Structure 1
Amino acid sequence: MDKIIVKARAKVNLSLDVLGTREDGYHEMQMVNHSIELHDTLTFEACDEEVNLTSNIKGIPLDEKNLVIKAMRKLQTYADIDKGIKIHLVKRIPYKAGLAGGSSDAAATLKGLNTLWHLGLTRQELLEIGAAIGADVPYCLMGGTALVEGIGEKIIPLPPIKKLYVVVVKPNVNISTPWAFRALDHHVIQKRPDIPGVIRSLEAEDYTELRQAMGNVFEPLVAAKFLEVNDIKHGLLDHGAAASIMTGSGPTVIGYFPLKAEAWNVWKMFSKKYRMCFLSETY
């Protein structure tokens, strides 16, 4: 095998809570995550010495600032190898959108190179390497529906979410995750998500309870600064979404639809206004 192609799926938060700040400065989190079909594609091709990252998107970093290269370097160090690689990254997941696109690319790199280079590293070893790259990387290595705690390293798989169609809408603004955490540190959280209720409603496929239980503590802060977030959320709900939430530190808003035809109609409407609007489904 000298070539492998790996999908890097976007991550969505069904709920996101920040419980406090630890002594090491990191934030203690509790989240319910799931994957969606929206994905980047990475092609890895073995070569002798060269390390080369290319992409379909102009302007993104192609050096160690890109988590793909960072993940590759971490893997090389861990496995004590020095091999060349050509990587082509096809980006579809929006940048700075709260969808963990960079972390998912890093996770795909660890999985892809573990296979291509015949390293034989265990999942636990990959999770340890991933945790040193970014908080979302361990979850992205696992994927699926999961309760995620700590700083992202504690992952408890949950039963797969029922197939739902999702409309993904990113307004034309970018959110810096450090800014979001700094803002949250100076903000009193008025309402926290009911995460046990979210898990219970998923198991029962009770979308009324899900809508009431889900929440994202970053959402009020981001929506106060960027009013479009609330406009998009209310627009999705008004047009039939069973539930809607801002994901990650924003600004992307997700709407969930049981029927594909409904989701398609809403996607068609929103895509007239928003360039980064996607029709996807749970995975």
Structure 2
Amino acid sequence: MTTGFPLSEPARAKINLTLHVGPPIGNGYHPLKSVVVFANIGDIVEMRPAQGDKSTLVIEGPFANGLASDRTNLILKTAQLLSDEKFDLKLTKNLPIASGIGGGSADAAATTRLIAPENIDQITTDLMAIGADIPVCLRSKTCLMEGKGEQLTPLPNLGSINAVLVNPGVAVSTGEIFKLFDQTKPTSANLAVELPNTTDLMELAKWGRNDLQDVAISIAPEVQTVLDALSEIETCQLARMSGSGATCFGLFSSRDQAVDACAGIKDENPDWWSVATVLGDTV
């Protein structure tokens, strides 16, 4: 923890193990059905009472460049929404930007847990206006996310799974992905299909799919390159894109397998961001 910032909160990476997408509804949002897990890596948000007359945000870390620290940042938007008090906030940005793993929403959720931990259930609707993934990131537990992101059903007792996260250094626009999805996907997912009755996280992941993956590949072919690199690893059980991309994940049966796979990817593609991690609730 940085000296001078007494309060600190992790903002764990959000991974969509599955992402089934329905047609847009009246307000332009798409109903979703997604099994969401969280990694044992993420950004870090720190906070103290403001030393000046307004809230401030300092951003450090490997992905700080290109991220605004003004009122457009979700952290400051969240702080302003939640309280009339002023805060000095610091973000250590460890996750790639615009990468499909909920970085901005996770940061806003961490800010919420710092400022108003006792009012999380009451303020979820307000936070949806800032980011649709904020409610699930507030809880940071394995769950089924439905609707626009506000309908959350806990999925306890599924344990954890070893994984490698890989991003090719390409930022994709979620809005552009959904716009192209509407143009190229005339038939929508059957969101009424029930989840399989299983306590195996790997089985649950293999059951589903990501309906945005093919669309993302058409915009950013690098996504397919990453998926191919993961799929070619003999021990990889499943390779898939998370969210609207471009981060992809590979699932493995053991920690050693994931660490070895990550090392190989780093050797062959040193410009990519890759990390071995654990997904699920026992991290």
**The TM-score by the shorter chain falls in which range?**
0.7 to 0.9
Q: What secondary structure does 1:86 align onto?
A: strand
Q: What secondary structure does 2:31 align onto?
A: strand
Q: 2:74 aligned to 64, 67, 70, which one?
A: 67
Which residue number corresponds to residue 98 of structure 1?
100
For 1:269 and 1:191, how far apart are their aligned partners in 2? Answer: 37
Q: 2:239 aligned to 244, 251, 272, which one?
A: 244
User: Structure 1 residue 214: deviation in Å?
Assistant: 1.9
Q: Which moved more, 1:189-198 or 1:170-179?
A: 189-198
Which residue number corresponds to residue 19 of structure 1?
22
Which residue number corresponds to residue 257 of structure 2?
262
State the TM-score, normalizing by the size of structure 1.
0.88
Q: What secondary structure does 2:124 align onto?
A: helix
For 2:124 and 2:108, how far apart are their aligned partners in 1? Answer: 11
State the TM-score, normalizing by the size of structure 2.
0.88
1:179-223 alpha-carbon deviations (Å, 9 max, x no partner): 00100110126785899675534x14564x742x22111101112
Q: 1:173 aligned to 149, 170, 179, which one?
A: 170
Aligned ranges 1:3-152 → 2 under 5 Å? 3-47=6-50, 49-56=53-60, 57-76=64-83, 82-115=84-117, 120-121=118-119, 123-152=120-149
**CA-atom RMSD in angstroms:** 2.2
1:71-123 alpha-carbon deviations (Å, 9 max, x no partner): 111112xxxxx3221111001111010001000000111110125xxxx42x3
For 1:205 and 1:181, how far apart are their aligned partners in 2? Answer: 27
Whether the aligned pair in 2 keeps the contact of 1:31 and 1:195 (CA below 8 Å) is: no
User: Structure 1 residue 161: deviation in Å?
Assistant: 3.2
Which residue number corresponds to residue 79 of structure 1?
none
For 1:206 and 1:12, how far apart are their aligned partners in 2? Answer: 14
Change (3 A) 1:219 1:269: same
In the alignment, structure 2 segments of 5+ residues that lack a partner are none
User: Structure 1 residue 261: deviation in Å?
Assistant: 0.9
1:26-54 alpha-carbon deviations (Å, 9 max, x no partner): 21111111111121001101135331100
Whether the aligned pair in 1 keeps the contact of 2:22 and 2:191 (CA below 8 Å) is: no
For 1:180 and 1:247, how far apart are their aligned partners in 2? Answer: 13
Aligned ranges 1:202-281 → 2 under 5 Å? 203-204=199-200, 207=203, 210-211=205-206, 213-239=207-233, 240-272=235-267, 273=269, 274-281=271-278
Q: What secondary structure does 1:104 align onto?
A: helix
Identical-residue share of aligned pairs (%): 26
Runs in 1 of length 4+ with deviation above 6 angstroms?
Answer: none
In the alignment, structure 1 segments of 5+ residues that lack a partner are 77-81
Change (3 A) 1:205 1:254: closer
Q: Which moved more, 1:238-247 or 1:97-106?
A: 238-247
Change (3 A) 1:65 1:232: same
For 2:79 and 2:164, how far apart are their aligned partners in 1? Answer: 32
Whether the aligned pair in 1 keeps the contact of 2:22 and 2:189 (CA below 8 Å) is: no
User: Structure 1 residue 282: deviation in Å?
Assistant: 1.1
